[in-house]
Amino acid sequence: MAKTTFYHAGCPVCASAKHDLNTILGRSKFDVEIVHLGEQPAALPAAKQAGVQSVPALVMENGSVLHINFGVDINALG
């Protein structure tokens, strides 16, 4: 299964994007790790290193970063 990571911060835009992605990804063969950066600040460096500039964002297995709408600037999270 392809491995992707969905970063979010519990914001309304994040919740909405998460819902929609669940609709898509739940019907596909993706293994999605959900990371709440507000609750897991230790994951911030990895997210920034992956190229995440804002959340919600989905980091694909190939390294692509899909910023989905705009919830929170990642630098506002720490």
Contact status, residue 55 vs residue 9, Cβ threshold 8 Å? yes
Nearest distance, CB of residue 78 and its own copies, angstroms: 23
Q: Is residue 30 near its own copies by the rule CB under 8 A?
A: yes
Nearest distance, CB of residue 42 and its own copies, angstroms: 26
Between 64 and 75, whose beta carbon lies closer to its own copies?
Answer: 64
Contact status, residue 55 vs residue 6, Cβ threshold 8 Å? no
Q: Is residue 67 near its own copies by the rule CB under 8 A?
A: yes
